[in-house]
Amino acid sequence: MAVKQYIEAIRDALDEEMGADPRVLVMGEDVQEGGVFRATEGLLEKYGPGRVIDTPLAESSIVGVAIGAAFNGMRPVAEIQFADFIHPAMNQIISEAARIRYRSNGAFCCPIVVRAPFGGGIHGALHHSQSVEAFFFHVPGLKIVVPSTPADAKGLLRAAIRDDDPVLYFEHKRAYRLLKDEVPEGDYTVPIGRAQVRREGDDVTVFTYGFMMHEALNAAQRLSKEDGIEACVVDLRSLSPLDRDAVLEGARRTGKVLIVHEDNLTGGVGAEVAAIIAEHAFESLDGPIMRLAAPDVPAFPYAAPLEDFCLPNAEKIGDAIRRLAAY
Partner 1 sequence: MPMIGESVTEGTVLRWLKAEGDRVARDEPLVEVETEKVDVEIPSPWAGVLQRIVARVGDTVPVGEPLAYIEVKVVVGAQHAAPLQPAGARPVETTQVGTPPAQPERPASGEGPAGRYSPAVLALAREHGLDLSQVKGTGIEGRITRKDVLAFVAARGAVAAAPPAAPPAPAVAPRPAAGEVMRLTPTRRTIAERMSRSARTVPHAWLAVEADVTRLARWRQQIKDDFRQREGADLTFLAFAVNAVVRALKEHPILNSSWSDDGIVLKREINVGVAVATGEGLIVPVIHGTDRLSIAALAKKLSDLGERARARKLTIQDVQGGTFTIDNTGAFGSIMSVPIINYPQAAILTLEAVVPRPVVVDDAPDGQAIAIRHMVNLCLSFDHRILDGAQAGAFMASVKVKMEAFGPDTPLH
List residues near partner 1 by CB under 8 A: 202-203, 254-256, 265, 282-288, 290-295, 309, 312, 316, 319-320, 322-324, 326-327
Nearer to partner 1, 158 or 322 (CB): 322
Nearer to partner 1, 164 or 286 (CB): 286
Cα 295 to Cα 199: distance, rounded to the nearest angstrom: 27
Provide, rounded to whole angstroms, the least separation between the CB of residue 265 and partner 1: 6
If 0-12 CB within 10 Å is exposed, 13-18 middle and 19+ buried, where does residue 161 land? buried
Nearer to partner 1, 198 or 291 (CB): 291
Nearer to partner 1, 27 or 292 (CB): 292
Strands 231-235 and 196-199: antiparallel
Enzyme catalytic residues: 128
Provide, rounded to whole angstroms, the least separation between the CB of residue 152 and partner 1: 26
Nearer to partner 1, 23 or 252 (CB): 252
Cα 131 to Cα 271: distance, rounded to the nearest angstrom: 15
Provide, rounded to whole angstroms, the least separation between the CB of residue 327 and partner 1: 5
